[in-house]
Each structure stands twice: as C-alpha cells, then as structure tokens.
Amino acid sequence: MNEKILVVDDEKELADLVEVYLKNDGYTVYKFYNGTDALRCIESTHLDLAILDIMLPYIDGFQICQKIREKFYFPVIMLTAKVEDGDKIMGLSVANDYITKPFNPLEVVARVKAQLRQYMRYRQPQIKRLD
C-alpha cells in the first residue's frame, strides 16, 4: 500500500490530524490548506483519492471536485461542517462520500479504505474468461 491521498482543509489542526492517521496507515499524503495549491497538486501528481473540505479560501471543495471530475476518476470524499440535507445531496452528487465534522479519524480512515478498495477493484483490467 502506498496510495497517494490529497487532503485539503483550511483548518490546519484538522488537516494535520487526518494526515497523521492516514500516514500511520501507510498512505502518502499531500496536504494543502487552500484550493489553489490543491489544484496545482492535482495537475502535477498521480493521486488515488482526495479528501476535500467544502469551505476553502479562493476555490471551494465543490469547484475542486468538479475540476477533478473533468479528467480523473479517483474517489473524492467531502469532509465538511456543512450538515444541511441540501449540502449533503449536492456533495454526494459530485463526490463518492460525505463526512460531517466533527468526525472520528478512524472512521475517515475506514471510509478511505472502503473507497480505495472499490476504486482499485474497478481500475484493474477485466480478464476475459474462456469458457
């Protein structure tokens, strides 16, 4: 396991906490505190998953997710304080999962693993059976 995960949250303590838990589980983490730096990373780095806050300086998590979807298929998890049903519905219309703050870091890691399992399974070339 050496999957590369993007973490974007303007709350430094939360981004740092998520980074520690993911690194302890063997993931490579690219951490940013704003959307502009995150977009640069997305364009220049092969990523396997992104964890995005919605409310970010310069460009929000929804816009980042839309940019990701223009070129890439890796899973996106929204990690946000926005708890209204409308926000959740909008988030799940573009992202693979939606986690609200406050959150349990172990749950975040478990959801990352679940998304990566599914992504890696479907990313593998299909083997044709010769019956």
Q: What does each C-alpha distance from 19 to 35, 50, 73, 129 come to in angstroms?
A: 17, 12, 22, 41
The mean pLDDT of the chain is 91
Handedness of CA 53, 55, 56, 58 (dihedral sign): positive
Tokens standing for 61? 């998590």
Q: Angle, nearest 10°, between helix axes 61-71 and 85-94?
A: 20
Fold category of 4-123 in CATH: Rossmann fold (3.40.50)
Global pTM value: 0.90
pLDDT at 82: 82
Query: Which pLDDT band holds residue 125 (cuts at 50, 70, 90)?
Result: low
Report whether pLDDT(129) > 60: no
Give the tens place of pLDDT for each residue, 82-109: 888 888 888 888 899 999 999 999 999 9
Extents of the domains making up the chain: 4-123
